[in-house]
Chains A and B, each alone.
Chain A
Amino acid sequence: MAERLKTAKRLKQYMTEYYIDAKTARSNNKKVGWITSGGPVEFLIAMDIIPVYPENHGAMVGATHQGGMLCEFAERRGFSRDVCSYARSDIGGLLSDDPSKKGPIGGLPLPDMLVCCNNICGTVMKWYETVSRYLDVPLYIIDTPVIHQFPIPDEVVDYVAEQFKGYVKFLEEVMGTRLDMDRLMEVSIIANENVEIWNRVLRKCAKKPAPMTAFDAFTHMAPIVTLRGTKGVTEYYEALIEELDERIEKGMGAVDNERFRLLWDNIPVWHKMRALSNYFAERDAALVADTYTNAWATTNINAEEEDDIFRAYAKAYTPIYLNIGIDSMLDTVERLASIFNVDGLVLHSNRSCKPYSIGQYDIARRYHEDTGKPSVIIEGDMTDERTWSEAQVMTRLDAFMEMLEANQA
């Protein structure tokens, strides 16, 4: 396996600084807003509010194998194990009264406000309601109706745009200051640049051999999710692209002898990142693309083209990957599979994420019908390591890899 990307060190530094800023917000007279991963963070950035992502924290919790421990705090309070593990571990961390058991960074900086956009699931609304109740902080919900079929109906754009106006009012009330609309426009343009360069990062893996894998992308996605709308994101990804270009020039792949190119679907199994990465690498398979990180590579806010910036935001934030029909999701999968020239799909059926997982059987079936290529569905959970069945997953993956070998022979 190739060496780790050198930029990873810079990423660590970058994210550490971000978390230090967030953790010391109060002493610096700054406010913290918790926001869902698909939420319109640009408004927070424009108002100088530090955005914090409980889902990003959930990923860290999973990666450090603390999911089960934190979930248990929530379970003791009555939250079922059938509730999303991001939510459970986050709520568990809030309920834990043991400072050493609040998560990998000692718990998230507490919020002054909560912003929940349900374009990724209905779960986040229930989760944020719970946090709002436990911490007694104001909550704003942006409701983005599911776009089962395109085009986006006008009444949906009107409805969501109205909520963006309400969002501004909410933030202004919490902050006691007005939003500078010019600043919002500026941040929107930067966010588009961020998205565009993140897309360029991911597209580097269309090269064979791919200079990085989806496992790298899962790590390096942190800035586009958490700091979108700031110039530092573009600068960081420029450095990453430089390193990826060097690898491409040298013909150096992330997997030494890349023979199979695969596409990953769903949120990663955070607590099995290393094991799965090694598993595929040992079998000369590179996960060259994924639907998860790609979701942050497509949102374009046409703020300059639209007469009304709120309508531009409504159009950008409503039809995101998890808020569209299964057939539209399949179109994305097949488009990515074609761009990245993959040999098959690995679909993580994630107990904690129904909007991502339900429909995967149809996606796998139709992908096979359309391309003749195979898929494997493995069952797991993004954060709660207690649900993982090693033997079952490995049996399925082994059979899948054998099929790929046979197809190549």
Chain B
Amino acid sequence: MEIRGMDMKKYIEGIGKPAIAYMCTYMPEELVLASSLHPVRIIPEEKGTDRSSAFLQAYVCPVGKGMLNWGMDSLPRNLKGVVVPHSCDTIQKLSDIWRINHISGLHYDLVLPVDFTKQYAKDYTMKILEKLLEALGDVGKAATDESLRQAISLMNKVRQRIRSLNRKTMGARQFFEISISAMVMDKEEFLDYTEDIPLLETQGKPVIAVGNMMYDMDVFEMFDNVGLNIVDDDICPGTRYFEEDVDEDLPPLEAIATRIMKRPICPTKHAHTYREDYILGKVRKSSARGVVFLYQKFCEPHLFDYPHIKDALDKENIPSLFIEIEPSGGVSQQTYTRLEAFNEMLEN
């Protein structure tokens, strides 16, 4: 994917500021911004040589492989390090491989709790955020209360901007291009860029996408072409990134920790029946006609949740479709045909 018509890595270099890469939406970008650094989510490229196979087995998900390839290809000159919020087992191991092969400068593992309901989990989260902030300060500038508050305010504006887009009438491709751009672009520039952005209107049947990190724009374009509008979602480049703001009235670190605990919970965390309730709630609220499970291959946490969410949808007579993107990436004709058939099956 390109950012404003530019290769993503070139775009990052163009920002000039020292940059910090990260691997998951649990990343508190506010801490990076407050340290005068530029946060950038690693978005795997759809081209290039596969160097990851010398390090990762064939049964590792395309996201893990893609991120490692991103790191092993030439890096933006201003990239100063990587922060890895611990989510799944694959990311955990990928982090080690990244570190022991000295891919980038600062290497920081942000090992967040798996159960966000306990006070001691919040205490622990605040402590590790504080330590991360110190480490970032060594690379950029030491954050102050003021710089943290400014960063929080800026990130809230970014999230609010994405949420303000009318997904009922815009295509999935454009929407996710915008949300992913927010993870890569300079935040102020993003706000300027999206202020009056012309939205490409579509009139598809409303559906919800549920899944993991999806970055191949062909996948989203498939929805546009078939005639489906993704009006809401539970995927990494979607609501998991931009739902829930940071409370600007609380002390900054506490506020950021609180957002981490309140934002949509991903399947790598302990949440019992939360996810099916959450997704059913989204279907009801958006009047979606169906749900499309959109998974990158080999994603175990999601695959564990699938039967439960599917059961819950079936009980409510909500149609759903399971799509798995193969490691080779892209959209196969078979996938396209299945989505077309699903569209035809949905009530108008």
Contact = CB atoms under 8 A, between A and B. Distances in A.
Contacts of B113: 143, 145, 159
Contact of A129 (B89, B270, B299, B306): B270
A359 B267 contact: no
A265 B272 CA distance: 33
Q: Which of B55, B92, B109, B310 has the most CB of A within 10 A?
A: B92
A361 B54 CA distance: 7
B272 A155 contact: no
B90 interface: yes
Interface in B86-108: 86, 88-90, 92-97, 99-101
Given A133-B273, A326-B100, A83 B115 contact: no
A30 B94 CA distance: 43
Nearest to A129: B272
B93 A143 contact: no
A163 interface: yes
A17 interface: no
A160 to B, nearest CB: 9
Contacts of A125: 114, 270
B303 A162 contact: no
Contacts of A153: 131
A383 interface: no
Interface in A127-144: 127, 129-130, 132-133, 141, 143
Contacts of B305: 126
Interface in B49-86: 54-57, 59-60, 86
Nearest to A323: B92
Interface residues of A, number: 47
Interface stretch (B118-126, B173-181, B331-339): B118-126
Contacts, number: 136
Given A141-B270, A145-B111, A155-B124, A82 B93 contact: no
A355 B93 contact: yes
Interface string A97-130: 0000000000000000000001001110111011
A141 B115 contact: yes
A282 interface: no
Nearest to B111: A145
B304 interface: yes
Given A79-B304, A79-B307, A362 B114 contact: no
B90 A141 contact: no
Interface in A20-57: none
Interface in B292-316: 297-301, 303-308, 310-311
A355 B92 contact: yes
Given A122-B88, A129-B270, A143 B96 contact: no
B128 A146 contact: no
Contacts of B131: 153, 155
A151 to B, nearest CB: 14
A127 B86 CA distance: 19
A361 B268 contact: no
A327 B131 CA distance: 23
B127 interface: yes
Contacts of A84: 300
A122 B89 contact: yes
A354 interface: yes
A358 B59 CA distance: 10
Contacts of B303: 79-80, 82-83
A166 interface: yes
Contacts of A121: 89
B100 to A, nearest CB: 5
Contacts of A360: 57
B268 A122 contact: yes
Contact of A130 (B89, B96, B100, B304): B304
A326 B124 contact: no
Contacts of A126: 267, 300-301, 304-305
B99 A325 contact: yes
A349 B99 CA distance: 21
A379 interface: yes
A80 B306 CA distance: 9
A148 B109 contact: yes
Contact of A357 (B54, B57, B114, B308): B57
B121 A133 contact: no
Interface of B: 54-57, 59-60, 86, 88-90, 92-97, 99-101, 109, 111, 113-115, 118, 120-121, 123-124, 127-128, 131, 267-268, 270, 272-273, 297-301, 303-308, 310-311
Given A143-B114, A158-B123, A159-B121, 14 more contacts: A77-B307, A78-B311, A79-B306, A125-B114, A145-B113, A148-B109, A153-B131, A159-B123, A354-B59, A354-B60, A354-B89, A354-B93, A361-B57, A362-B101
Instruction: Give me the 10 closest cross-chain CB pairs, A-B, nearest first.
Output: A78-B307, A126-B304, A358-B93, A159-B124, A326-B96, A145-B111, A162-B120, A155-B127, A80-B303, A354-B89
26 contacts: A82-B59, A82-B297, A82-B303, A83-B304, A123-B304, A125-B270, A126-B267, A126-B300, A141-B270, A143-B113, A143-B270, A145-B111, A146-B92, A146-B111, A148-B92, A148-B99, A155-B124, A158-B124, A163-B120, A327-B100, A354-B89, A358-B60, A358-B97, A359-B93, A359-B97, A362-B100
